Structure 1
């Protein structure tokens, strides 16, 4: 039986040069202005999407890889997605907007106050994609960068502190009674005093409580510590895993077990698997795209290496394509999940060429070897995920109109006709829509 699922869009380019490197750039949009993002947000809301997650990297990376990251605009420049969010809220009525935030960049009191302000201004549609990018830490403090697990410890303390501040107004503290001329009852405000390993601050927060719930917390991360963080804290998990039944069920079970271990219900978190489909007009078109990707030339492999170098903050273009990739080239700050996505199951003896070739190759949705196919074939896949208990998917791409419409124009009607994609929103903001089914 068809099962309705949640849909989101992961803005993989972040608040950066939309369409750079593609012929569609000649639409002449100015990526620094809000219009292209507002148009895209309206399209996603018309399509019935729950949320858009705006990727971000506040750093241009290590000195060794800055040129790689900016030369082709893979890793920068990027403007601040938190400041873009109000423009997207203004353009829409229901869509959740989820900027990426790094705990190293915001002290808890300032973060709690700013995020509370946006939650009220947006009618409760704010989400926060909490990342633990340790490579950016040098921009915010003279302290040495934290290790992988320690960065999650800091993020957990940061988020706990923000929630303490959001909840420093007890029930009944906000009175707003004109008859008695009492706006708030100060005796019901709690003087939070936090002295932790990473942060120290006092409350209460100078912002009123939320009538429809706190901002939704989103998290990526596939490590054991990352999955534990998601289970304990997140409303949405950005999931990266092979889309076969065993992998999907195992991944979901790990998140749900972590949620239950933290005293939550498995239903408290929505797990959305990230997919970047190539929607084609016909099966024959899909076959042609897949065949063309089977034997990439060196130029194509170098282009992939450039992007991977940006993502991994490691210059892969300086390595010999035909020699094994030594994992020690990656710094401790590089996500283990990102490294694993490059290496896959090919082993330490495989040359770099084999890893890049595997990334270059496309596969067909129809035989579950990849994500190239027709709208009907993609809907079949989403139906199958629903049969495995899936909550939804995050489609992946930039906000150039060509990218958006190439993916959605044929797909949305098919998903709606099958009952997979919502037609209406409920009142109450992002949290209410995530819990609607």
Structure 2
């Protein structure tokens, strides 16, 4: 029997129109109301999923790409996932929830206080998916956007500031002794006077200490600086890489080296690889879907170009399909990982845009390692193999948070994974951190 792995769900659309573009939109769930999400997270928890990460983009993008982002709801509208989190906590008992937060949007003292409040209210199940998106900078002040590495520098200062505020109450400062009429000892609080490159504020924080640890930090960055940030700060790394043992071992090694360099243990960071499988009922159905995707027409390529334009905040639809992407076409604000997913291993200087888009359109089979179309059993085979051969920590399923999506993904898969000893059947007490460190 294989060992247990960790499983999460990445809500790729964010707090936006779940089900849009799919027939199950006619189930008539309202994406602006909590019931849809509460139903879905109950199902996730029942299945043994321990973490939900909610994507977010506070900006609709540049004027040139706003229409591309909202036309098919690829990049907006999105409501604030931090305000959705309390409804999800109320519907579950063990599931960890990690809304996306941007250090540019939250002053440290306000952030530390709000996140501390949610950590207590949730039973210590809050995670924070810390992103360094610089394309939203104009919404938060007049300062020009930071470059890629500088944005990570700011995020590290911000996280350090939050931790200093959370720790401004030593454990012995909270007395809570009714018999002696003493709630707290204010002489023991740390003043916390922070004067940094990006933030200045005074403490201490007006929130009590945590009993089961601080909010767990999630990070998605795939650049060298992003991996270093994860090694230094994160409990979970949202990873994008080829799902073969060699690639996974190499990726995990980089994270572990970064963790050790900052005085942490390799196991302090759980690396969860994102996967968006297409599960079908038979091998024959999988073969049919793969064959049908082999030669995408221009209409299919345009749909993919629109989605990529939203993700990259760069209009690909204005380019010639049969010419390479011009050098320097992507600005500094664009995620290196997003560009890498578009380009793949092809030569950006000579490969026509058509080939990049067609590669994204083509599907492959789970059974031969060429893609992610297959049966629940075939997906379980892959997950089991990655755990056995690459010591993989676990996976993140990628998709909308709609009850139909959740059921299609997990109805057959969860029982198979449990029978093989890969998916948990019970949760550890103590909140999200306890579950992440349980194995």
Q: TM-score range by the shorter chain?
A: over 0.9
State how far apart, in whole Å, the 1-side matches of 2:245 and 2:86 are.
39
Change (3 A) 1:71 1:384: same
Contact kept, 8 Å, 1:41 with 1:92, in 2: the verdict is: yes
Instruction: Give the aligned partner of residue 417 of structure 1.
Output: 419
Instruction: Give the aligned partner of residue 84 of structure 2.
Output: 84
How far 1:187 sits from its partner (Å)?
1.6
After TM superposition, the structure 1 stretch with the greater mean CA deviation from structure 2, 80-89 or 24-33, is 24-33
**Cα deviation per residue 1:284-339 (whole Å; 9 max; x = unaligned)?**
11111111111111111000000000000111111111111124111110011110
Contact kept, 8 Å, 1:126 with 1:216, in 2: the verdict is: yes
State how far apart, in whole Å, the 1-side matches of 2:51 and 2:403 are.
17
Instruction: Give the aligned partner of residue 143 of structure 2.
Output: 143
After TM superposition, the structure 1 stretch with the greater mean CA deviation from structure 2, 325-334 or 298-307, is 325-334
Contact kept, 8 Å, 1:189 with 1:204, in 2: the verdict is: yes
Instruction: Give the aligned partner of residue 368 of structure 2.
Output: 367
Contact kept, 8 Å, 1:17 with 1:77, in 2: the verdict is: yes
Instruction: Give the aligned partner of residue 289 of structure 1.
Output: 289
How far 1:395 sits from its partner (Å)?
0.3
Aligned structure 1 segments of 4 or more residues deviating by more than 2 angstroms: none
Instruction: Give the aligned partner of residue 109 of structure 1.
Output: 109
State how far apart, in whole Å, the 1-side matches of 2:251 and 2:271 are.
9
State how far apart, in whole Å, the 2-side matches of 1:404 and 1:351 are.
36
The two structures, once aligned, show a CA RMSD in angstroms of 0.7
How far 1:407 sits from its partner (Å)?
0.9
Contact kept, 8 Å, 1:9 with 1:52, in 2: the verdict is: yes
Q: Given the alignment of the two structures, is residue 120 of structure 1 paired with residue 123 of structure 2, yes or no?
A: no
Contact kept, 8 Å, 1:171 with 1:188, in 2: the verdict is: no
Contact kept, 8 Å, 1:286 with 1:372, in 2: the verdict is: yes
* Residue of 418, 427, 430 corresponding to 1:428: 430
After TM superposition, the structure 1 stretch with the greater mean CA deviation from structure 2, 99-108 or 398-407, is 398-407
What is the correspondence of 1:264-275 to structure 2 with a 5 Å cutoff?
A: 264-275=264-275
How far 1:170 sits from its partner (Å)?
1.1
Q: Given the alignment of the two structures, is residue 381 of structure 1 paired with residue 382 of structure 2, yes or no?
A: yes
State how far apart, in whole Å, the 2-side matches of 1:113 and 1:401 are.
33
State how far apart, in whole Å, the 2-side matches of 1:279 and 1:71 are.
28
Helix, strand or coil at the partner of 2:114: helix
**Cα deviation per residue 1:337-396 (whole Å; 9 max; x = unaligned)?**
110110011102110000000000111111111111111111110111101111000000
What is the correspondence of 1:176-255 to structure 2 with a 5 Å cutoff?
A: 176-255=176-255
After TM superposition, the structure 1 stretch with the greater mean CA deviation from structure 2, 325-334 or 406-415, is 325-334
Helix, strand or coil at the partner of 1:241: coil
How far 1:245 sits from its partner (Å)?
1.6
TM-score by length of 2: 0.99
* Residue of 377, 397, 400 corresponding to 2:399: 397
Q: Unpaired runs of 5+ in structure 2?
A: none
Helix, strand or coil at the partner of 2:156: helix
